[in-house]
């Protein structure tokens, strides 16, 4: 029972972290053009914040803190101004929302399939 919960926790964290890294890389490529893939690891910062605070039952502060942290991290990792960092952050959260919405609807659709 405990092992199942731990496995679910770790798998959820990995999926969220990978999703944030992927969508950050897509957003950075959209705004900046060709960027190194290793810079996408900056997506782990908002992923850890969102995952941790959401588990603690604080989803609204999690979103606000993740946005501020991402602005700072993107500005330092990609070496851009706060204006460009803000644009990348907006694109990143838009892409993350759209990808999450599409996946949620796909899973809901697959759940209605006859067995």
Tokens 């405990």 correspond to 2
Which tens digits make up the pLDDT trace of 43-66?
Answer: 999 999 988 888 888 888 888 999
Q: Is there a contact between 96 and 23 (Cβ–Cβ < 8 Å)? A: yes
Per-chain mean pLDDT for the chain:
91
pLDDT (0 to 100) of residue 4: 86
3-state secondary structure of 113: coil
User: What tokens does 18 get?
Assistant: 């990978």
């Amino acid at each position: 029972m405990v092992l199942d919960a731990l496995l679910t926790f770790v798998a959820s964290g990995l999926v969220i972290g990978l999703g944030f890294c992927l969508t950050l890389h897509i957003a950075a490529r959209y705004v900046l053009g060709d960027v190194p893939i290793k810079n996408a690891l900056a997506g782990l910062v908002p992923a850890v914040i969102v995952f941790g605070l959401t588990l603690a039952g604080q989803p609204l502060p999690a979103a606000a803190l993740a946005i501020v942290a991402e602005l700072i991290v993107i500005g330092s990792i990609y070496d851009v101004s706060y204006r460009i960092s803000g644009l990348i952050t907006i694109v990143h959260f838009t892409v993350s929302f759209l990808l999450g919405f599409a996946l949620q609807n796909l899973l809901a659709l697959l759940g209605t399939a006859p067995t």
